[in-house]
Amino acid sequence: MKFKFCPICGRKLGEMFCGDEGRIPYCEYDNELFFDTPKPCIMVAVIKDDEILLLKQSYIYKDSKVLVSGYIGIDEKAEDTVYREVLEETSIEIQNVEFLGTDYIEGKELLMLTYLASYKAGVLSKSKEVEEASWVKISDALEHMKENLIGQRVIKKVLDRRKMY
């Protein structure tokens, strides 16, 4: 979030130079700096044997599939969001959740926390916000994600991890 108005008093913000952070939105009245805050999201690669779960959500990418993802709710841990989003979007349960790292979508105010998880139980069934949900060979996953650069980076991490074991 980029602040333009003070969330305390509502006045239009000026700027203050703040060392190596540069010029930061500043409220002279409240004597407060307001740093940009990205929206935290999760993205999870769900693995079942040698397959990965991919979704089709055209409102995100017209010609690419995506991994399960979603916004972290207020008063919710990122790991809890991983379990919740997978269950909500696909009706399956996961286990062995492992943090892969952070990423971002260039030009967007999103901080992506990426995870790897394994299938535990349930029958794959898509939610209303998902057009299609299917298991795809991990080795073929990149072919389905041509527009989805962040998804490609996560898939490459998954492939690298599988080579290590």
Structure confidence by residue, pLDDT tens digits, 8-49? 999 999 999 988 888 999 999 999 999 887 889 999 999 999
Residues 6+ apart with CB under 8 A from 87: 93
State how far the Cα of 56 lies from the Cα of 34, in Å rounded to an integer.
37
Superfamily covering domain 39-164: Nucleoside Triphosphate Pyrophosphohydrolase (3.90.79.10)
Model pLDDT, residue 129: 87
Residue ranges of the domains in the chain?
1-37, 39-164
Structure tokens at 50: 């040698």
- Is the pTM higher than 0.95? The answer reads no
Strand partners, 23: 17
DSSP classification of residue 86: H
